[in-house]
Amino acid sequence: MSDYPSEEFNTAKKLLRKFCETHRQNKSIDIFSSYTELFKSGTFNNAETAELLFTIEDDTYNYLFDRDINIFCEDMKYDTLLNIFSGSGRLVKQLAHLGISRKFKTIYNIDSSREMIEFEKKFLHEDNTKFVCQNFFDIETSVYQYNAAVCHCGLRYVDKYEYDKFLKKLLVMKRDNFAKSIITEINDEIIGEIIRILDIEKIKFTHIRRLYHMQRNTTLYLSLKYYEDDKTFRELVSNISTQSKKHTGDILKEISGFKTSDMHIIIF
Ligand SMILES: C[S@@+](CC[C@H](N)C(=O)[O-])C[C@H]1O[C@@H](n2cnc3c(N)ncnc32)[C@H](O)[C@@H]1O
């Protein structure tokens, strides 16, 4: 097959190599769960991989401020948005693409990683977008008069024992600002824990649960179809197959990140 999109194919190869490196560095983890590790390393202090992931289409960025969410945030004034754990900045990038980011007077992207902040700055040039390189747990809440805070798939980077601290910080900010907080997660366990804490704190919240066809790696998925054409690529997959005793088909599916999944959105 000669007409495969070579750029996508190269992306897939790079991503797969990174996957193998991550796996080699940490032999104790299961190869399949280590894929999650790759995604962690992807935006955690690693601009190179963030750049790679950036080329991948991710549906989850489209719905965060869509009609359903706005129904629950009817009173939300588009004033100041705190984008907590902003990572590679993809959320704001997508909000800009959808024409939503300019509705906000100010957007603060908050991330503790200097590398990720520098990475975001390269493509987020709107006057209303500011960058704060700080640990969320250390930020002085009174500085920010905001009316919406969003943490999109960021909680998986927080130690489970700190969810409580995380939520309490948001709750103080909410009380001081009458703000809305939006937390999203795919992981059922994480969201269960968040709901448990909100219940204990007697905080009213809205839980939206939707089935999503996660095409997180659409680009990668496409290119994987052509993996037969590349020897190195095939060898990498074959090595993983031997090590993990899994079929190559399963590995390809796993690497592609092509999944159907529930996405939870909690608004309070
Ligand atoms: C993958 S991102 C989350 C996804 C991101 N919200 C998006 O929309 O693409 C996770 C980010 O959280 C940041 N992070 C982790 N712990 C943090 C903390 N305590 N305070 C601020 N940022 C933190 C990491 O540096 C990483 O860039």
Domain shared by 96 and 178, yes or no: yes
Q: What pLDDT shows up at residue 172? A: 86
Task: Examine the domain organization and report whether 201 and 97 are in the same domain.
Answer: yes
Atom of ligand 1 nearest to the CA of 61: 8
Indicate the residue among 185, 210, 235 that finishes a domain.
Answer: 210
Claim to verify: residue 91 and residue 192 sit in the same structural domain = yes
Final residue of a domain: which of 171, 189, 210?
210
Q: Dig out the tokens for 84 from the structure.
A: 């907590």
**Ligand 1 within 6 A of CB of 162:** no
pLDDT tens by residue, 143-189: 777 778 899 988 988 998 999 999 999 988 877 776 788 999 888 89
> What is the CATH classification number for the domain harbouring 75?
3.40.50.150
| Residue 267 in domain | no
Q: Which of 45, 82, 111 to mutate to test the pocket of ligand 1 (most atoms within 8 A of CB)?
A: 111
Q: Which atom of ligand 1 is nearest to the CA of 152?
A: 6
Q: Please indicate, yes or no, if residue 268 is contained in any of the structural domains.
A: no
Structure tokens that stand for 232 in this block: 């190195």
Q: How many structural domains does the chain have? A: 2
Tokens for 109, please give them.
């992207």
Per-residue confidence (pLDDT) for residue 198, from 0 to 100:
96
* Pairing outcome for strands 106-111 and 129-133: parallel
Residue of minimum CA distance from atom 8 in ligand 1: 91
Q: What confidence score (pLDDT) does residue 103 get?
A: 83
Give the span between the Cα atoms of 243 and 256, in whole angstroms: 19
The CA distance from 85 to 83, in Å, is: 6
| Tokens describing residue 128 | 């209303």
Structure tokens at 159: 């130690």
Please indicate whether residue 44, judged by its CB atom, sits closer than 6 Å to ligand 1: yes
Question: Are 159 and 195 part of one and the same domain?
Answer: yes
- Residues 173, 89: Cα–Cα separation, whole Å: 22
Q: Are 151 and 252 found together in one domain?
A: no
First to last CA, the chain: 51
> Does residue 29 fall inside a structural domain?
yes
Residue 177 and residue 249 share a domain: no
31/134 same-domain check: no
**Domain identity same for 201 and 242:** no
Which residue range forms the structural domain that includes residue 252? 6-58+214-261
The pLDDT value recorded for residue 32 is 43
Nearest-atom index, ligand 1, CA of 86 = 6
Q: Specify if 1 maps to a domain.
A: no
Same domain, 182 and 94: yes
pLDDT of residue 30: 45
What pLDDT, on a 0 to 100 scale, did the predictor assign at position 56? Answer: 53
Name the CA radius of gyration of the chain, rounded: 19
Residues 17 and 35 in one domain: yes
Question: Which residue stretches of the chain have pLDDT < 50?
Answer: 1-2, 4, 28-45, 216-219, 221-223
Question: How high is the pLDDT of residue 25?
Answer: 59
Q: State whether 205 and 249 are in the same domain.
A: no
Per-residue pLDDT tens for 81-93? 899 999 888 888 8
**SS in 3 state form for the chain?**
CCCCCHHHHHHHHHHHHHHHHHHHHCCCCCCCCHHHHHHHHHHCCCHHHHHHHHCCCCHHHCCCCCHHHHHHCCCCCCCEEEEECCCCCHHHHHHHHCCCHHHCCEEEEEECCHHHHHHHHCCCCCCCEEEEECCHHHCCHHHCCCCEEEEECCHHHCCHHHHHHHHHHHHHHHHHHCCEEEEEECCHHHHHHHHHHHHHCCCCCEEEEEEEEEECCHHHHHHHCCHHHCHHHHHHHHHHHHHHCCCHHHHHHHHHCEEEEEEEEEEC
Residue 35 belongs to some domain of the structure: yes
The answer as to whether 164 is a domain residue is: yes
Q: Are residues 112 and 199 in the same domain?
A: yes
CB distance 136 to ligand 1 below 6 Å: yes
Atom of ligand 1 nearest to the CA of 137: 19
| 89 ligand 1 Cβ < 6 A | no
Of 168, 194, 210, which marks where a domain is finished?
A: 210
**Alpha-carbon span 190 to 168, nearest angstrom:** 16
The answer to whether residue 237 is domain-embedded is: yes
Is the CB of 85 within 6 Å of ligand 1?
yes
266 is a domain residue? no
Q: Is the CB of 86 under 6 A from ligand 1?
A: yes
